[in-house]
Amino acid sequence: MDKIIIHGGRKLRGKLNISGSKNAALPILIATLLTNEDCEVKNVPSLADIDTTIALLKHINKNVERHGSKIRISSNAHLKHTAPYELVKKMRASVLVMGPILARLGEVSVSLPGGCAIGARPIDIHLDGFEKLGANISLRGGYIQVKAEKLKGARIVFKYPSVGATENLLLASVLARGKTIIDNAAREPEIVDLARVLIKMGAKIRGAGSKKIVVEGVKKLNGFAHEIIPDRIETATYLIAGAITKGNVVLKKAEGNLLKAVIRKLRESGMKIIVNNNTINAVYTKTLKPVNIKTGVYPRFPTDVQAQWMALMSVTKGKSIIEETVFESRFSHVGELQRLGANIELKGNRALIKGVERLSGAPIMISDLRAGAALVLAALVAGGKKTTISRVYHLDRGYEHLEVKLRELGAKIRRIK
Ligand code: EPZ
């Protein structure tokens, strides 16, 4: 397995291009299951999760051709209605195939997604929604079987604004008979991008991006061409990289409007952030102040940036508190940050951080995608000997060419087989 070696202490300076959003690309690629016509998706990042999604689409009988960041999808035979364990266990978002396959074939069976490092991650909200649309759910041999003669529109009230459940129910209701209302829907930009694609395909959707989404079912959906929005989590990660190394980074093909909560907190901490139409410049001009964050559903501070913020606060003089409200145990990065010398105390879903003068390099291990990003950020400023990071495959799931992009900004980083 590959490792990444980082020699800390370099200020990051320079420009880089932000890639397309992983969490928009996944549901949009899966939305191609709703039509037999040709679809073209542009600005798709090259990530392990995208490869898994492509494998899944091929398994379900789609032709998929990839040309750089452009993916062309067409149909070659009737759809299959199963998503196998070996693919679902690699990527929880595979459960998003339930909506489109149920809508088109009336039955779907998907392996129960395993939990992962950030919690149990059930899909009860997804399944309740399918039942409201008239489906029957059964569990057999670790597979969830969902069956429905014909999906019928209904009013669905989510107990929690789940991103995946909102996407899954959008993907199912666009071909259901009649009107569906999703109340307490998630508002993430990736849901808005998915709705843009579904509307291009001929779906009738109002209110995507708000708490209440209304869908009028249609009979058939057509092909589409679409360019994925920039990845707001990757953007946040590189802004924080600029902050933690006291540098000056310019992120191109980025969209500041997608991460206002993060930009607000960086400014509060003392970073100078200049947002133009598709670039964001982060400039370190003075000693940063500790700033508390509490994660929440969009548009609040994203849980996917919590670990990266903790890395920054670990070396910011003073006390700060991080409260994680979205996942029940998303602090796997704390132990590894402590190995680098961070002073962090965990109390339930809160982390109390006391900024230290400097972290020191050590061998560390990654457990989940965003925790990995936090450890890379910490390693960029760890003094003393180098930091060797193992299990970097977690990073490949969500960060396109991470070590290349950081090297372009002047980091002393290399990847070894
Ligand atoms: C999406 O996951 C993202 N993944 C996650 O990003 C992100 O952390 C998360 O939304 C929250 O913003 C993709 O978009 C592919 P949820 P998802 O359903 O849809 C509970 C990354 O690093 N819940 O909003 O799985 C769940 O346990 C990944 O890119 C239920 O209880 O998130 C969790 O505590 C990590 N029942 C909370 O809701 C359900 O049926 C948020 O989950 C569904 C969710």
Share of residues in the chain with pLDDT > 90 (%): 88
Parallel, antiparallel, or unpaired for β 248-252 and 272-275?
unpaired
Distance CA 309, CA 314 (A): 9
Comparing 91 with 263, the larger pLDDT belongs to 263
Sequence-separated (6 or more) residues with CB below 8 Å from residue 230 = 18, 19, 20, 21, 43, 253, 254, 255, 258, 278
pLDDT tier at 90 (50, 70, 90 boundaries)?
A: confident
- Taking CA atoms only, the protein residue closest to ligand 1 atom 42 is 162
Q: How far is the CA of 56 from the centre of ligand 1 (A)?
A: 20
Taking CA atoms only, the protein residue closest to ligand 1 atom 33 is 327
Substitution candidate for ligand 1 out of 94, 163, 168, 233 with most atoms within 8 A of CB: 163
Find the 215 Cα to ligand 1 centroid distance in Å.
22
Task: Give the residues surrounding ligand 1 with Cβ less than 6 Å away.
Answer: 22-23, 26, 92-93, 119, 121-126, 160, 162-165, 186, 190, 303-304, 326-327, 369-370, 398
Q: Provide, rounded to the nearest whole percent, the portion of the chain with pLDDT above 70.
A: 98
Distance 117 CA to ligand 1 centre (A): 12
Q: Is 80 exceeded by the pLDDT of residue 120? A: no
Residue whose CA lies nearest to ligand 1 atom number 7: 304
Q: What is the pLDDT of residue 88?
A: 81
The string of DSSP codes covering 167-186 is HHHHHHHTTSBSEEEEET--
Q: Which residues contact 159 (CB under 8 A, 6 or more apart)?
A: 125, 128, 184
Q: What is the C-alpha to C-alpha distance for residues 187 and 164, in angstroms, rounded to an integer?
A: 11
Q: Which of 334, 406, 412, 387 is nearest to 117 (CA)?
A: 334
Contacts of 262 (CB under 8 A, 6+ apart): 232, 236, 239, 301, 302, 305
List residues with catalytic annotation.
Answer: 116
Please state whether beta strands 279-283 and 272-275 pair in parallel, antiparallel, or not at all (unpaired): antiparallel
Longest alpha-carbon distance in the chain: 64
Residue 86 reports pLDDT greater than 90: no
Stated pTM of the model: 0.97
β-strand 212-216 against 179-183: which pairing, if any?
Answer: antiparallel
Residue nearest to atom 32 of ligand 1 (CA): 163
Residue nearest to atom 31 of ligand 1 (CA): 122
Per-residue pLDDT at 116 = 62
pLDDT at 350 over 70: yes
In angstroms, the first-to-last Cα distance of the chain is: 6
Residue 69: band (very low, low, confident or very high) from pLDDT cuts 50, 70, 90 = very high
Q: Average pLDDT in the 394-400 region?
A: 93
95 pLDDT higher than 70 = yes
- Span 187-203, pLDDT tens digits: 999 999 999 999 999 99
Buried b / exposed e over 107-138, threshold 16 CB at 10 Å, is bbbbbbbeebbbeeeebebbbbbbebbbbeee
Confidence of residue 118 (pLDDT cuts 50, 70, 90): low
Is the model's pLDDT at 399 over the cut of 80? Answer: yes
How many angstroms separate the CA atoms of 205 and 201, rounded? 11
The whole-number pLDDT of residue 85 equals 80
Q: Is the pLDDT of residue 132 over 60?
A: yes
pLDDT tens digits for range 38-49: 999 999 999 999
Residue 125 CB partners (closer than 8 Å, separation 6+): 158, 159, 160, 162, 165
Q: What is the mean pLDDT of residues 376-390?
A: 92
Domains of the chain (ranges; CATH) run 3-19+230-416 (3.65.10.10), 22-227 (3.65.10.10)
Per-residue model confidence (pLDDT) at position 117: 63
pLDDT at 101 over 90: yes
Q: How many CA atoms lie within 13 A of 196 on its CB side?
A: 15
pLDDT band at 76 (very low <50, low <70, confident <90, very high): confident
Tell me the β-bridge partners of 297: none
- Give strand pairing partners of 83: 110
CA distance 376 to 350: 22
Give CA–CA dist 22/193, Å, rounded.
Answer: 12
Statement: residue 115 has pLDDT above 60: no
Residues 200-212 have a mean pLDDT of: 98
User: What is the pLDDT averaged over residues 282-288?
Assistant: 98
Choose the residue to mutate in 88, 121, 396 for probing ligand 1, maximizing ligand atoms within 8 Å of C-beta: 121
Q: What is the pLDDT of residue 83?
A: 82
